Chain A
């Protein structure tokens, strides 16, 4: 009996350790191929080169155009998701009657659960054609349409995490503000928002990390032309879209081209991992502030 209990506990622990194994696996797989890649391409050429043409006869491996494309689309997404998500959160947390909140939150959850390939379709065939009527120079593939749609996709994340942070602010602070004659807007903007600041920042950073790692929307609607530009009207390629592009072809294992996707993946992993850590640290902090 004792022995059985002992075996069970170890078996359960083994399962729990699989998650550590997953992280280790990601790092090992990415690192092995990235080092093999860097043996042939100097790291400075990779990180600071301004031309990404790995499929050409005379290839060039400067990752900056992919990074620029990623940042451009993510920045547009954040410009949509931050103000909208924050205002939604303020409404849901400070204004909405309970019934309205209960009705709206599941719809936001559905918005968050729509598969990204569906958002890609929406960006390419609905949002971009509409934008083209207002912006004459807009290409069929561009950074603007997918950026906006990606913003809609991460909006529920921004909204629900910010709302959680605002709900964590003690009632006493709000009541103090009301007692001094403040309106709900003044209370929300000058008392609740600053008090929930670290939690809201954590939400923004997590949303940025989600935008950077988002794949299908940009693979479908942003085009596949790596280009060092800040112009949202022309086709660009993100790091994630490049990985998809190469994966769709039949690339033999061990070639330099095969290794590029792991090198790009490594960069993507390090970037999002760093953001996630900062976000987790901030969330930990606001939890401590009010408990």
Chain B
């Protein structure tokens, strides 16, 4: 009998701990909402930075974030998908692709600030891009590349081999098979991976700080060579100030960032569900 009670107690403890973890997410959102909801307004979204907290907005940071993410996607997605196609469809069992695979797993676990130092040394200094959108996006592209590659490989692996064999039987070459048959089927999976990669990139702060993206940029970037700031850096800047008014701005910025992320994740989940239905 005591054994059963012990088992029940253990189950209750485990569930309690799990709920505690989930509860901390609720606490986080409630806290940020309580601090920042009153600052949310149209003028907050369209305003520029200001020395007075009540006048400050996030237009420059939000447009910077969107711009950087678009360029990041344009760089990381084609390269990542191409890498995945090579690993999955061409070099399946050779030594080189094994090395590349191990390397990608390792890269996925390298701290993001190390990518920032790479970006600083390589893009900002050696390639002389300066502290531009291009330098930031290139850095983030390298950072999310493993995510794109892993998701694309999974999507390619889920394509039934009968589709490939049917295509070969009709006389198609390998590339024709991949381009016209395999990729269209894998597309929803690839898109899901892309969205997840970009939602990782949009929340990154540390690598962009270390390449020197600055907080006092008061304009929206107008070309890939302009200096920029992003929403997380603006939030960091406001959090670091002692005045409560600026911290409220940070909370409002967090609300915008979180809703952006939530939208992207919802899109990814929607795509995933659609995809699963189609294959089964």
Contact = CB atoms under 8 A, between A and B. Distances in A.
B157 interface: no
Interface string B121-156: 110010000000000000000100110010000000
B240 A16 contact: no
A120 B21 contact: no
A180 interface: no
Interface string A32-56: 1100000000000000000000000
Contact of B100 (A20, A156, A185): A20
Contact of B17 (A11, A18, A87, A108): A87
Interface of B: 3-4, 6-7, 10-11, 13-15, 17-18, 20-22, 24-25, 27-28, 31-32, 35, 78-80, 82-83, 85-87, 90-91, 97, 99-100, 102-107, 109-118, 120-122, 125, 142, 145-146, 149, 173-175, 199-200, 202-206, 209-212, 232, 235-236, 239-240, 247, 250-251, 254, 257-258, 261, 265, 269
Interface residues of A, number: 84
Interface in A226-243: 240, 243
Contacts of B120: 29, 247
Contact of A185 (B7, B85, B107, B251): B7
Interface stretch (A57-65, A169-177, A262-270): A262-270
A210 B111 CA distance: 7
A90 interface: yes
Nearest to A14: B82
A282 interface: no
Given A12-B85, A15-B83, A240-B113, A20 B99 contact: yes
A146 to B, nearest CB: 13
Contacts of B115: 26
A107 B22 CA distance: 7
A1 B172 CA distance: 11
A226 B255 CA distance: 32
A84 interface: yes
Nearest to A84: B17
B28 A155 contact: no
Interface stretch (A2-10, A131-139, A190-198): A2-10
Contacts of A19: 83, 100, 103-104, 107, 145-146, 149
Contacts of B22: 104, 107-108, 111
Contacts of B106: 23, 273, 276-277, 280
B79 A265 contact: no
B83 A215 contact: no
B18 A104 contact: yes
A117 B112 CA distance: 13
Contacts of A120: 236, 239
A261 B210 contact: yes
B114 A269 contact: yes
18 contacts: A5-B174, A19-B83, A19-B149, A30-B114, A107-B25, A108-B22, A111-B22, A115-B232, A117-B203, A118-B203, A119-B28, A121-B235, A122-B28, A126-B31, A219-B206, A220-B239, A268-B114, A276-B110
Contact of A26 (B86, B87, B110): B110
A151 B115 CA distance: 23
A115 B230 CA distance: 13
Nearest to A239: B113
B107 A220 contact: no
A5 B175 contact: yes
A220 B201 CA distance: 19
A79 interface: no
Q: Which 6 A-B pairs have the closest CB atoms?
A: A213-B111, A115-B203, A29-B121, A91-B14, A15-B82, A12-B86
Given A243-B113, A244-B209, A220 B240 contact: yes
A208 B124 CA distance: 30
Contacts of A215: 111-113, 205-206
A223 B173 CA distance: 60
Given A4-B175, A12-B90, A22-B145, 15 more contacts: A13-B90, A15-B83, A16-B83, A29-B120, A84-B20, A110-B265, A114-B203, A114-B258, A115-B202, A117-B203, A121-B235, A126-B31, A253-B125, A265-B113, A273-B106
A16 B209 CA distance: 28
Contact of B113 (A114, A118, A244): A244
A1 B113 contact: no
Given A20-B103, A30-B117, A216-B236, A272 B109 contact: yes
A209 interface: yes
B105 to A, nearest CB: 6
